[in-house]
Amino acid sequence: MNINLFNADVQAFLEANREVNSATIALKKSPFPGISSAELAAQLDARQRAKKKLPLWASTPAIYFPQKINMEQCSSEQTAAFKSSLITENSSLIDLTGGFGIDSFYFAKRAKSVIHCEINQELSAIVAHNYKVLGQENIQCFAGDGTAILQDAAPVDYIYSDPSRRVALKKVFLLSDCEPNIVALQHQLLASAHTIITKVAPLLDISSALRELTQVAEVFVVSLENDCKELLFIQKKDFEGEPQVHAVRLYQGQQQQYSFRYSVESATQNSYGSPSKYLYEPDVAVTKAGAFKSIAAAYGLTKIAQHTHLYSSENLRDDFLGKIFDVQATIPYQLFKKNAHPYQANVISKNFPLKAEELRKKHKIKEGKEEFLFFCSNEQGELIVIYAKRV
């Protein structure tokens, strides 16, 4: 960490050039002794990248940004703020894998005390500096292996971890292959805290993780603007029973949640039928969570087909977790193929032999804004096309 970057004139330079392409700065000679052009460019590039994901960090003077990989791996402010809602106020928490410290910062907004653990000493120093700049004083930064601190630390209310999905520079997808190995450590962790919160990669199979983890009380599948960002497993000491699964949609500043259990999902029977007035496309959090049948029953919707995860109703359910469309028409795909006139629409393929891009190319469909074409199969196995507009 180059402390020369904290000089007032350097910070003023970065602020004045906040919209300038960082590559331009990198190619020029640095105007400051003790600071290279590459360092200036790296800080400028990180600020620009953080503008959407970390607006508070990006807009605060004297924030020091780490390497690009640390920026890519950290939580967004929106998902970190959501996670903070899962803990009680005035509690204590240890973040075993603190990284750039976004999660710890938001946990500290509710907790009485937080310990941020980061094995990378330079990154730990950067995070400690940024917390001071941001005025968050109830976070203690520990530069070392987070699991080691459990040996001497007093019991806490929560232990949070975001295990690394990169081991020996390769991506891994099993929870037991991540570092630290939460599966192997879970009994030790539950001896040190009442509740364990583990964040894992969205690609992880939920059922396999539930087989590896004990005492899982809740699972949260969190999406941001219809992009699945996080899976959270909540383990509680001495919990017995079936976990509750929550699909959480963070969309345009709003939060929606649908909760269910897999036993209910398995037992649910749906009604099937052709699209009526309104069509519903579930958010990615719902589909990742596996709420294919129970959500239809909960909202009183008809399913298009068993394996076509689109739903319909005559009366509008504007609280549905996903996109809602006004159905204009529904026709057989064979009839659609005979129509000669060009189309301009968004193309969505659900339980259909061809993918969206293949359909767009085959039928010469241009990109559209208002119109939507859903290519799917109905319960009779017939290929159909649904014309729709966003509600």
Task: Give the domain ranges of the chain.
Answer: 3-65, 72-241, 270-390
CATH of 72-241, one of 3.40.50.150, 3.10.50.40, 3.40.140.10, 3.40.50.2300: 3.40.50.150
Same topology between domain 3-65 and domain 72-241: no
pLDDT of residue 170: 67
Phi-psi region of 383 (alpha: psi -120 to 50; beta: other; left: phi over 0): beta
User: Taking each helix axis from N to C terminus, what angle separates 8-16 and 37-53, rounded to the nearest 10 degrees?
Assistant: 60
What are the backbone dihedrals phi and psi of residue 307, each rounded to the nearest 5 degrees, phi first? -105, 10
CATH of 3-65, one of 1.50.10.10, 1.20.1640.10, 1.10.10.1110, 2.70.98.10: 1.10.10.1110
Q: How far apart are CA 21 and CA 44, in angstroms?
A: 8
User: Tens of pLDDT along 327-352?
Assistant: 999 999 999 998 877 789 999 999 99
Q: What is the per-residue DSSP string for 314-377?
A: SS--TT-SEEEEEEEEEEEHHHHHH--S-EE-EEEEES-SS-HHHHHHHTTEEP-SSEEEEEEE
Write out the chain's pLDDT in tens, 391 residues: 888 888 888 888 988 888 889 899 998 899 888 899 999 999 999 999 999 999 999 999 889 999 888 998 899 999 999 999 999 999 999 999 999 999 999 999 999 999 999 999 999 999 999 999 999 999 999 999 988 888 887 899 999 999 876 655 566 667 877 888 899 999 999 999 999 999 988 888 899 999 999 999 999 999 999 999 999 999 999 999 999 999 999 999 899 999 999 999 999 999 999 999 999 999 999 999 999 999 999 999 999 999 999 999 999 999 999 999 999 999 999 999 988 777 899 999 999 999 999 999 999 999 988 899 999 999 999 999 999 999 9
The H or E element that residue 212 is part of is: helix 206-212
β-pairing, 322-332 with 278-282? antiparallel
User: Tens of pLDDT along 107-133?
Assistant: 999 999 999 999 999 999 999 999 999
Q: What is the per-residue DSSP string for 155-196?
A: PEEEEEE--BSEETTEE--SGGGSBS-HHHHHHHHHHHEEEE
